[in-house]
Amino acid sequence: MAKAGKLLPRHHYFSLFDPEHRRQMILLFKILKSAKDWDTFYKTASRARVKANEGMFVYALTMAVLTRPDLKGIQLPPLYEINPHFFFPTTTIRQAYRAQMQQEDATIEATFTGTLKNLEQRVAYFGEDIGLNNHHHHWHADFPFWWRDEWGHKDRKGELFFYMHHQLNARFDAERLSNNLPRVEAIGWDKTIHEGFAPHMSYYEEGEFPSRPDDMHFLDLPFMTRDQMTRYESRIRNAVDKLKAYGPNGPVSLNSSEGIDILGNMVEANENTPNLAFYGSIHNLFHVFLARIGDPDGRYGV
């Protein structure tokens, strides 16, 4: 693949939600995970570090370290130290680079992304908390949606997916209420997203993170429509009402102690969903719809 020029190039953004990026990452992960001993693993990782896409390498290496028994106890640096541009505004990163280039000690103040003109700024301390965002990343590294049972079963993966996101929403609601803000409103595929967001961050080499102005609407993507997402959501709601999902081999009961685990797998959706073709991937595709809301057909490359 490398000789054919099909690998994701270096200095290019990497996204788990891009099927081709994810496919290549899984190949690299499997190579690292299956290395027969430490020496083979070390040499393979060293080679991949200078040849593979940087973001892909960091993620695949992280997953290998977390899942290889012989690497248990190795502590990787937190993501905000590896990729600080995912956590700090561009102005902060540039000041840090300037201080490093000039070999000067500097105290750099990291500010939030918005201004007091935006009421949502009252809870920026929560949504932009570095530790919380790093925890969210690490949780999904412990329970990746692309993980297959052949590499080791992740017990109660769907249940923990539901629990973690439920707890995040509950805590965010509590923070909002304590700052005289209403609870989070459910987003609908045909509803207006009133609150915009300007991250003021940059990719390492590929320009600024796109902003989202106020009062935006979801638009169809080249590979998925809002109507199809609405149908997926309706089918999941119907399964909850009937306490029964449809699997490839017939009905799957949700009226058991495993029901919430199955439901969480359906909503994410991960490799353990009972029927990906029928229930879709609400959570993962929602990330894509929201990220591409300003450029749904990719004409601007954002």
Catalytic residues, by residue number, are: 268
Both tokens of residue 200?
A: 């003021």
Let me know: does 298 contact 192? Beta carbons within 8 Å.
no
Q: What distances in angstroms separate CA 105 from CA 84, 99, 100, one per listed residue?
A: 18, 7, 8
CA 24 to chain centre: 17
CA 157 to chain centre: 16
CA 110 to chain centre: 23
Amino acid identity of 92? T
From CA 36, how far away is CA 32, in angstroms rounded? 9
Both tokens of residue 87?
A: 């956590």
Question: If residue 201 lies in a helix (H) or strand (E), which one and from where to where?
Answer: none
Q: What distances in angstroms separate CA 103 from CA 84, 106, 110, 226, one per listed residue?
A: 19, 9, 20, 52
Count of CB atoms situated within 10 Å of the CB of 234: 10
CA 240 to chain centre: 25
